[in-house]
Amino acid sequence: MEEPSEIEPIVVRGRVKWYDSVKGYGFIVGDEVDQDILAHANCVRASGRSSLPEGARVTLQAALFERGWQAIEILEVEPVPPAQLGERPSDFAQAAEAIGPLQPARVKWFDRAKGFGFINIFGDVKDVFVHMEVLRRSGLSDLAPGEAVAARTMQGPRGLMAAEVRQWEEAATESAAQHPQPESVAQPGRAGR
């Protein structure tokens, strides 16, 4: 890794221009800098992600290196609204309404070029079909084998399929916010009065 210039790293807001998880890098167009910002796979993985969805708004820490700007840390990635993806809602997207609770799952395999793959819900050996359009609607652009995710499923014409796929960390945070742990009745250090 290159040594950064004398300029201290800065927080930058921007939009993902493109990211290719196979190549292991992509670029972000920053609002505060005049060059594209390189986003290397190591930086993306350190943020708990396997990829960056094209067009997503991001907040990151970046530094200027000899060869240009480079992401040091991905701080936040906002999901891409379907309207910004330039897609017209299809019958598939309209039919794939999220059904049931988010369940923990692991990616079996996903081929971005083919546009589909499979996940397995924790504790169930059946494969769950995942279509690229469902990923896009969920703000994701790719899945890595073995990656932990959360999914809502529905019965499709050929079997179980994902209606929604979320990053595990995002789903866990959302679940904790919706279902806070009850506070203990007895507080430490206080005897019952």
Sorted by where each begins, the domain ranges of the chain are 10-77, 89-178
Residue 173 reports pLDDT greater than 80? no
pLDDT band at 135 (very low <50, low <70, confident <90, very high): confident
**Region 157-178: what's the mean pLDDT?**
74
Q: Quick check: 2 and 65 in contact, CB under 8 A?
A: yes
Predicted pLDDT at 186: 44
d(CA 176, CA 160): 27
The percentage of residues in the chain with a pLDDT greater than 90, rounded to a whole number, is 32
> In the CATH hierarchy, which fold is given to the domain comprising 10-77?
OB fold (Dihydrolipoamide Acetyltransferase, E2P) (2.40.50)
Q: Write the single-letter amino acid at 46.
A: A
Segment 144-165, tens digit of pLDDT:
999 999 999 988 777 889 989 9
Q: Compute the mean pLDDT over every residue in the chain, rounded to the nearest whole number.
A: 78
| Arch. (CATH architecture) of 89-178 | Beta Barrel (2.40)
Residue 178 reports pLDDT greater than 60? no
pLDDT band at 98 (very low <50, low <70, confident <90, very high): very low
Task: For 48-93, give the secondary structure using H, E and C.
Answer: CCCCCCCCCEEEEEEEEECCEEEEEEEEEECCCCHHHHCCCCCHHH
